[in-house]
Structure 1
Amino acid sequence: MSRTTWTHYPARWAMRPLVGTGITANHITWMRIVTGLASCAALAVGTPAAIWWAGGLWLFSAFLDRADGELARLSGTCSEAGQRLDFYSDALVNPLFFLAAGFALRHSWLGEWAIPLGILSCVSLSGCIWAAELLERRMGGTVRAYNGRWGFDPDDALYLLGPLAWLGWLAPLLIGASLGATVVMVLTFLRLYQASRQVVRVGS
């Protein structure tokens, strides 16, 4: 993930006043986890009011996901433990949004397909996250699993989930995620397999 996307700048500006205070990057990460899980819980309820709350909490959680790293860099407190906590927060919260969307849509026109699509999207996105992490580790940090363009990273798309929920577009979002995330997961695992074989050949 890049550190200079458009979404990093407002997070950096917002975190500057916290440098030198008792608030640490890990505190921000835990706030991101709590607000993200609260958003997923509200979304799963599926009522209009709950979905509005879910969208707002999700936007705040996505902002905090950028802010924790910015605070760590500004305060010079970057650590491997903090990076691992940030990774695990993403691996937990982001896939759960789609599982929650499946429950939210269980009474929609998707009917009995809603929850299975939510599960598929959740599992596939989780697979993408873990495969990407393993791929980047296998390549020694010299290769990024997913490259961004025009000042945006692929995971900046997470900011769109809240507004899409407000607009009532959860169903097409879930269908798209179940297809897209599954394809990306398979392709990423194929890249990981190829990278592993290259490492074995070089080692031998």
Structure 2
Amino acid sequence: MPRAVVYLPDPTSRAAAASQVAGRAMLVRTLLTGERGGVREIGVPASLRDAAVEGRIAANPRLRAAVVWLDRLSPAQARDWSSGPLLLLPANVLLDPQSLRRLLAERDPGEGIALEESKGSLSPILLAPAALAAALWDRLVQGAPLGDDLEVRVRQGRMTLVVGAGFFVPVLDEASRSEAEATLFRSLGISADSHVDRMINRRCSRWLTRFLIRLPVTPNQVTLLSLALGLAAAWMLWPARPASALAGFVLYLLAVVVDHSDGEVARLTFQESAFGEWLDFTTDTVIHAALVLGMGVTASRVGEPTMLVAGAVAAFGVILSALFARFLPEEASGEERLATVLKGLGTRDLFYLVLVAFLLGLWFAPGLLPILVGLLAVGSQGYWLTCLGRRWVTGR
């Protein structure tokens, strides 16, 4: 894996590199993007060093291991760096890390590789061959502007061009900084988002996320806040009173917004982790199981006491269904249409409908709640049993 060096495209880029985009300086975003893109060492000229940047690097173990200040290299280390290919990253460009992975995965025929989106931007991203890296080394160490020279080399047409995998936004002024931030927030949705998520929840969560990324909070702390709101929502169902249940529904909606925000904070601050993903899944499952159990408690109080058992059975089904939905392979079998239907049954939109039906029943027809909870107890088993049956039939 080649090393990378951050460069300044033009004299104004130093100020742009210090500008804040979604709570992080552009230079810090460039460093984190390089690290996430698969670069093992990233050289930075001394002209970009300041207390704020050094503080961010010191606070991030991955950056501490990856970032190298070029003026602190020994002569032997400098010769080693300048003698091999170097990935040249402009300090003021918002870039999807997947684009770097694509570029680095391309085989260099010898003339270098450039990201196609960066051509013509005066902030090209390219993998410079050893000869070019050696020729530019002194200017890279000095932090001299290189955008024009690199653009000329890209336009000569000898470099291999690679199409990136996402956004490429040079930050030059306040307008482009705002566009870069808007681009980041537009990219925050995930494939599992339901229609309500896309139309309402994501719009609300982005406002919350804009506030949270400026606070010293971690994504996991945001997840725990979502858990607290969700459990409070479930608790509000237990009194079996319409006003209390309505308050619980509102708390659940807030929990969903916060649940969206934790992942957004993680992606914007480069704090994604396997543990955070597991915590988010567990929290989501616990909240929905607790809400279903709360429906059973309410149904047992306004109707048959046995509905408490039905609520517990429904909660058990929710947990198993969540596990199957999470671990069901996208291509588990040739029955792709069935897989799509099964995934659709596990969306929040369906759960919203169940909650609304529960609220309307509690307000206007309490005697029907046992029927609703009974159907929920049966339906929640249907999802995971269908998944299990499909796996048994297909052997996958």
TM band (smaller chain): 0.7 to 0.9
Question: Could you say if the C-alpha distance between residues 162 and 186 of structure 1 is closer, same or farther in structure 2, counting changes exceeding 3 Å?
Answer: closer
Tell me which of 166, 170, 182 is aligned to 2:381: 182
CA RMSD of aligned residues (A): 2.9
Contact 1:135 1:192 survives alignment (8 Å):
no
Deviations 1:52-82 (A, max 9, x none): 2212211111222222112212222111111
Matched, 1:33 2:33: no
What is the total number of aligned residue pairs between the two structures? 190
Matched, 1:17 2:216: no
- Equivalent position of 2:298 in the other structure: 104
Question: Could you say if the C-alpha distance between residues 125 and 22 of structure 1 is closer, same or farther in structure 2, counting changes exceeding 3 Å?
Answer: same
Contact 2:236 2:247 survives alignment (8 Å):
yes
TM-score by length of 2: 0.43
- Equivalent position of 1:90 in the other structure: 284
Q: Secondary structure at the match of 2:272?
A: coil
| C-alpha distance in structure 2 between counterparts of 1:5 and 1:123, whole Å | 23
Matched, 1:68 2:267: no
CA positional deviation for 1:37:
0.9
Question: Could you say if the C-alpha distance between residues 12 and 156 of structure 1 is closer, same or farther in structure 2, counting changes exceeding 3 Å?
Answer: farther
| C-alpha distance in structure 2 between counterparts of 1:124 and 1:167, whole Å | 23
CA positional deviation for 1:85:
0.3
Contact 2:194 2:348 survives alignment (8 Å):
no
Tell me which of 123, 131, 134 is aligned to 2:327: 134
CA positional deviation for 1:185:
1.5
CA positional deviation for 1:132:
2.3
CA positional deviation for 1:192:
4.3
Q: Any stretches of 5+ residues in structure 1 without a counterpart?
A: 199-204
CA positional deviation for 1:161:
5.0
- Equivalent position of 1:156 in the other structure: 349
What is the one-letter code of the residue matched to 1:184?
Answer: Y
Contact 1:62 1:159 survives alignment (8 Å):
no
| Stretches (4+) displaced over 6 A | none
Structure (1/2) with the larger strand percentage: 2
What is the one-letter code of the residue matched to 1:57?
Answer: L
Q: Any stretches of 5+ residues in structure 2 without a counterpart?
A: 1-189, 363-367
| C-alpha distance in structure 2 between counterparts of 1:16 and 1:3, whole Å | 22
The answer to which structure, 1 or 2, has the higher relative contact order (CA under 8 A, 6+ apart) is 1
| C-alpha distance in structure 2 between counterparts of 1:46 and 1:87, whole Å | 28
| C-alpha distance in structure 2 between counterparts of 1:173 and 1:112, whole Å | 14
- Equivalent position of 1:117 in the other structure: 310
Structure (1/2) with the larger helix percentage: 1
- The alignment-based identity, stated in percent, is 23
Q: Secondary structure at the match of 1:98?
A: helix
